[in-house]
């Protein structure tokens, strides 16, 4: 196995894929050997900054890689690494497209593992809120520095000596995704799956990023960034936080059904935001590509994603067609009839009747953002784009209307703090249980979630700030037959149109106990093909909202008895009073 080092803003990241440890004796002998003969197969170790060079030398001695590759980021290197992985059997080409590859992971390594993701700080409370006595905390996991050291010792010595097993490097039993903020360090061991191993993504841009953001007065968020141009040619940008597999990529690339609208994508997963000198909240997307959910993606739901992934894309755990193409649930109508399908688990003549999915529900594509046909001209602007609305949302099968607007920033922060959503295949949770997911950040908080809420409240007090309006959206409400009431996808442009007009100051909202909703007929439904039960879509059942208030209260009492900001507690009381009068 090779040790590769790359540099991401201020942080030196080392992926440590590993299998077993050596005995101490063996280890010492191996360290001595490695120091004598470091085999650098690419790049020159002496050109590295002294600190980096030391890091490489020390860790090479510890991990025992066969050789060292110092990344230069060139196309030639990219091609070389692909062909290396092809030879190893980790990747195979999807010959129907240009430079597209399929990787099939070990079936035990298919999603993020929240249960094995930890933050290590001296003070536990810096990392996680203190739950009520007898209650297990669900807002992150903390590891003491001593236990962190033990975790290192148990995993790292000699870890790169072992061969790749099953064509896939992983060790699910010993997996750990650890963050040590004091050292700006990430240790990712035992998983090759996306969010566990693409360290610049959730580990750095969200977990360590949120810590930097708190220190420096900005926001690092699990949000898409979208440019919206209305039929008059006016343009606004929005950011939206939905939990994993709840629609960010789809909204970020949407094909609007409302005539005259144009959407442009800045990012689909992460936003870094801060106020500029004029008080506008500016957002950048810190990523170069999209790591998107494959199932459900098709020319009818997300044509822009389909056009993006036709070349230079790596697919993980999708199914393969006999003509060298990809397949997943949702592509039935777009796949030739005369091909056979090999499922992600290797069933060579997969049939729908098997009752098993062809592609893993969390199968994904990893593709360059620059290939997206609607990529925004400013998507790489270092200044960022000005955000005028922030959306929170999730999968709420019941009770939660299509859209509502917060009364003000503090109420908006409360809406973010009380987000809930059905679990999805993006992490290891089983079933469709509705989970709390504050700000869509539950798996990604780099520090105490209560302090995180306080940080959002503080951001709202920034002098001269033009605060974005805040919304909650729900594309996933179901009727009594269990069917989605709202068609979603491109039709969500109707909701964005209402938000756009609200941001422009149009008087088209009415007050309800939970927030402001569109006045009758204010949502533009012209040309909507399906008939939608709008009354059901916006109904606010009293018993549902009373229960929601109680549920939130219990959650806060259990999870944040000492860490919840007073403002959030008083917003909950205010909601309770309004709901009592429903
Ligand atoms: P992560 O990459 O995990 O952060 O997910 P994401 O938030 O980007 O979710 P994504 O857009 O990939 O959507 C996940 C799933 O939700 C896909 O199967 C989509 O087809 C489905 N989906 C997205 N938008 C809608 C919608 O408006 N309505 C319905 N019914 N499904 C949607
Ligand atoms: C998510 O789960 O929110 C993702 C995919 O964006 S991963 O990078 O695996 O975290
Ligand atoms: Mn995500």
pLDDT digits 0-9 by tens, 295-315: 999 999 999 999 999 999 999
The set of long-range contacts for 73-81, using a CB threshold of 8 Å and a minimum separation of 24, is: 73/6, 77/42, 80/42
The 3 state secondary structure assigned to 17-34 is CCCCCCCHHHHHHHHHHH
Q: How far apart are CA 456 and CA 418, in angstroms?
A: 14
**pLDDT at res. 166:** 64
Structure tokens at 391: 């959306």
C-alpha 248 – ligand 3 centre gap (Å)? 8
Q: How far apart are CA 188 and CA 450, in angstroms?
A: 26
For ligand 1, atom 21, the nearest C-alpha belongs to 247
The fraction of the chain above a pLDDT of 90, given in percent, is 88
**pLDDT at res. 39:** 86
C-alpha 394 – ligand 1 centre gap (Å)? 10
Residues of the chain with pLDDT under 70: 1-37, 162, 164-166
| Residue entry with tokens 């919840």 | 564
The pLDDT tens digits for 22-63 are: 233 333 333 344 444 678 889 999 999 999 999 999 999 999
What's the distance, CA 459 to chain centroid? 22
**pLDDT at res. 164:** 62
| Residues forming the active site | 246
Closest CA to 207 of 122, 151, 126: 126
- Contacts (Cβ under 8 Å, ≥6 apart) of 392: 240, 241, 242, 412, 415, 416, 419, 439, 440, 470, 471, 472, 473
**pLDDT at res. 530:** 86
Near ion ligand 3, which residues have CB within 5 Å? 244, 269
Beta bridge partners of 509: 518
Q: Which of 193, 249, 474 to mutate to test the pocket of ligand 1 (most atoms within 8 A of CB)?
A: 249
Q: Answer whether 328 contacts ligand 1 (Cβ < 6 A).
A: no
């Amino acid at each position: 196995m090779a040790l590769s080092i790359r540099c991401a803003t201020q942080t030196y990241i080392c992926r440590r894929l590993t299998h077993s440890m050596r005995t101490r004796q063996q280890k010492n002998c191996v360290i001595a050997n490695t120091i004598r003969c470091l085999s650098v197969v690419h790049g020159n170790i002496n050109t590295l900054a002294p600190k980096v060079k030391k890091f490489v030398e020390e860790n090479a001695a510890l991990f025992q890689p066969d050789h060292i590759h110092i990344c230069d980021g060139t196309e030639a290197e990219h091609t070389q690494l692909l062909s290396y992985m092809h030879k190893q059997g980790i990747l195979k080409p999807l010959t129907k497209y240009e430079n597209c590859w399929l990787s099939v992971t070990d079936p035990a390594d298919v999603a993020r593992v929240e249960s094995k993701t930890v933050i290590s700080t001296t003070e536990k409370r810096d990392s996680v809120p203190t739950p009520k006595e007898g209650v297990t905390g669900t807002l992150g996991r903390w590891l003491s520095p001593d236990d962190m050291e033990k975790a290192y010792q148990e995993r790292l010595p000699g870890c790169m000596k072992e061969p790749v097993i099953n064509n896939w490097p992983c060790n699910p039993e010993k997996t750990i995704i650890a963050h040590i903020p004091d050292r700006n360090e990430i240790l990712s061991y035992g998983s090759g799956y996306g969010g566990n191993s693409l360290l610049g993504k959730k580990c750095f841009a969200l977990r360590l990023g949120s810590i930097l953001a708190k220190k420096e007065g900005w926001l690092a968020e699990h949000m898409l960034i979208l440019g919206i141009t209305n039929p008059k040619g006016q343009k606004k940008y929005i950011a939206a936080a939905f939990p994993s597999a709840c629609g960010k990529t789809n909204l970020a690339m949407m094909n609007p059904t409302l005539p005259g609208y144009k959407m442009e994508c800045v990012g689909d997963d992460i936003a870094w935001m801060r106020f500029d000198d004029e008080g506008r909240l500016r957002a950048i997307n810190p990523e170069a590509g999209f790591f998107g959910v494959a199932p459900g993606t098709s020319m009818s739901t997300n044509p822009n994603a389909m056009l993006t992934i036709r070349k230079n894309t790596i697919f993980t755990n999708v199914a393969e067609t006999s003509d060298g193409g990809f397949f997943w649930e949702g592509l039935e109508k777009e796949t030739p009839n005369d091909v056979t399908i090999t499922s992600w688990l290797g069933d060579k003549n997969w049939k729908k009747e098997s009752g098993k999915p062809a592609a893993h529900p969390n199968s994904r594509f990893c593709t360059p953002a620059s290939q997206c046909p609607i990529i925004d001209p400013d998507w790489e602007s270092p200044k960022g784009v000005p955000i005028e609305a922030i959306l929170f949302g999730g999968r709420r099968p019941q009770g939660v209307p299509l859209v509502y607007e917060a009364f003000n920033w503090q109420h908006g922060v409360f809406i973010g703090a009380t987000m809930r959503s059905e679990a999805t295949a993006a992490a290891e949770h089983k079933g469709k249980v509705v989970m709390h997911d504050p700000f869509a950040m539950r798996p990604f908080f780099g520090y105490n979630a209560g302090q995180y809420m306080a940080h959002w409240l503080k951001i709202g007090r920034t002098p001269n700030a033009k605060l974005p309006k805040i919304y909650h959206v729900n594309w996933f409400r179901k009727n009594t037959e269990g069917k989605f009431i709202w068609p979603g996808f491109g039709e969500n442009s109707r909701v964005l149109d209402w938000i756009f007009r609200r941001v422009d100051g149009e008087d088209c909202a009415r007050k309800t106990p939970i927030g402001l909703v569109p006045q009758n007929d204010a949502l533009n439904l012209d040309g909507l093909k399906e008939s939608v039960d709008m009354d059901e879509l916006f109904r606010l059942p009293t018993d549902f909202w009373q229960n929601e208030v109680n549920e939130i209260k219990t959650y806060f009492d259990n999870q944040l008895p000492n860490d919840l900001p007073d403002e959030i507690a008083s917003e909950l009381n205010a909601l309770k009073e309004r709901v009592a009068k429903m």
